Amino acid sequence: MIRGATVFRSDNGGGSWRRTSEHNQFMERLGGTYGWVFGQMRVDPNNPDKIYVMGLGLNVSEDSGRTFRQLTGMHVDHHGLYIDPNNSDYLVNSNDGGAYVSYDGGDNWRFFGELPMVQFFNVNFDMGDPFRVYGSVQDHGSYTGIVNLNNGRHEIPTVEFDGAPGGEGSHHAIDPRDTNIVYSAGFYGTISRTNRATGETRQIVPRPPEGEFPYRGQWLAHFIISPHDPNTIYHGMNYVFRSTNQGDDWERISPDLTHNDPDRLGDIQFQTITALSESPITEGLLYAGSDDGRVHVTQDGGESWIDISGGLHPDRFTSEVVASEYHESTVYVTQNGRRVMILLLTFGGPRITEILGRVSPMESPSDLLTSFVRIPRTRTCFI
């Protein structure tokens, strides 16, 4: 966990810095236990001593950060703030609850609840007719709604979404044989299996043997249902796990597929598997990508693994691996970093082709590609 925050100030363009904030309980609690998702700060364009620091709350200081007070009347978890350079009392704030505006320097806020600004992390669907979509919503858990295409895709009835298994960042997977069986991922590698017909939920996360170190799971760890057998689930931590009975029992089928460098392990889960894909052509042909730039493949259900990340960009976060439905030895790999990378990788050769050049290049340091989808039986891809 990452706690606390510190404010530094430079008056010579970064040539030297001095600490302006104090070490106290207010600064210690500013980001809760997950301060790594915050860190945004704004300086009043009309008063260099007045600064805003964003964390669980929106906090303002009028003495360069020595003392702070929290502005109230808003949702928590703050990530953005605009200060009108012509009127410092006009503020626009964005947080996990939506958009807020203040016209009096933060004493009062108007919430724009009428704007459709729900932040979905992930979306999936079942195989029913009509079918259900499932999605995880920032700070509000998971929801599901029915999509009825009987009147065509342009006349889909509006429906109210209901609560669904899972939390605010869950991945969902639905049993293709029984749409009542829903799998949902929680934080740092937890998984649950829910029967929507009975309401029964069971935690099915793999556990390390007694005496071993805890498994490392990404904040939104990846799992998939096998396209060949709906009873089989693959789950990625720092190892790949397989269950052949819907998560009741697990088998570890890989070594640690990350760099597993003790010097790089810290308070935030790192060196974890972030992407999995099983070939729709061949059962047991499985790809795994990690947040430290590695991609592996097994052709025999986990008996042996081949590192195919040579030529990829080292240490970049692997956001997706998608096995080709046409060629056993081909996989699409997406990596995030200072430039989003979309690569076509053939491990038999090996041959790596960057295919991002076919779309508009993205050069911003904040580039983040969260999903890559190829439409079956076509050459069409979406990112």
pLDDT digits (tens, 9 = 90+) for 10-47: 999 999 999 999 988 888 888 877 777 888 999 999 99
- Looking at the chain, the domain(s) classified CATH 2.130.10.10 span 120-382
If you average pLDDT over residues 114-122, what whole number do you get?
Answer: 82
Structure tokens at 117: 């600004």
Alpha-carbon distance of 344 to 234, in angstroms, equals: 23
- pLDDT at residue 361, rounded to an integer: 44
- pLDDT at residue 355, rounded to an integer: 47
Question: Which of 180, 184, 221, 214 shows the shortest CA–CA distance to 199?
Answer: 180
- pLDDT at residue 36, rounded to an integer: 74
CATH of the domain spanning 120-382:
2.130.10.10
Reply yes or no on whether the pLDDT at 120 is more than 80: yes
Q: List, for residues 190-221, the tens digit of each pLDDT value.
A: 999 999 999 999 999 999 999 988 899 988 88
Reply yes or no on whether the pLDDT at 116 is more than 60: yes
Element (DSSP H or E) covering residue 83:
strand 78-84
Reported confidence tier of residue 368, pLDDT bands at 50, 70, 90: very low
Q: Which residues contact 357 (CB under 8 A, 6 or more apart)?
A: none
Strands 306-307 and 317-323: unpaired
Reply yes or no on whether the pLDDT at 255 is more than 90: yes
Reply yes or no on whether the pLDDT at 3 is more than 80: no
- pLDDT at residue 365, rounded to an integer: 35
| Of 82-96, 243-257, 320-334, the least confident | 320-334
Structure tokens at 183: 């799998």
- pLDDT at residue 260, rounded to an integer: 85
Alpha-carbon distance of 347 to 277, in angstroms, equals: 15
C-alpha count within 13 angstroms, C-beta hemisphere, residue 373: 8
Global pTM reads: 0.80
- pLDDT at residue 285, rounded to an integer: 95
- pLDDT at residue 168, rounded to an integer: 86
Task: Assign a CATH topology to domain 8-111.
Answer: N-terminal domain of TfIIb (2.20.25)
Q: How many residues does the chain have?
A: 383
- pLDDT at residue 347, rounded to an integer: 61
What dihedral do alpha carbons 313, 288, 367, 118 form, nearest 10°? 180
Q: What is the mean pLDDT of the chain?
A: 86
Alpha-carbon distance of 12 to 237, in angstroms, equals: 45
| Of 244-253, 302-311, 349-358, 372-381, the least confident | 349-358
Reported confidence tier of residue 5, pLDDT bands at 50, 70, 90: confident
- Looking at the chain, the domain(s) classified CATH 2.20.25 span 8-111
- pLDDT at residue 358, rounded to an integer: 38
Question: Which of 144, 145, 148, 216 shows the shortest CA–CA distance to 184?
Answer: 144
- pLDDT at residue 2, rounded to an integer: 61
Question: Which of 279, 230, 248 shows the shortest CA–CA distance to 126?
Answer: 230
Q: Which residues contact 250 (CB under 8 A, 6 or more apart)?
A: 204, 206, 207, 235, 241, 242, 243
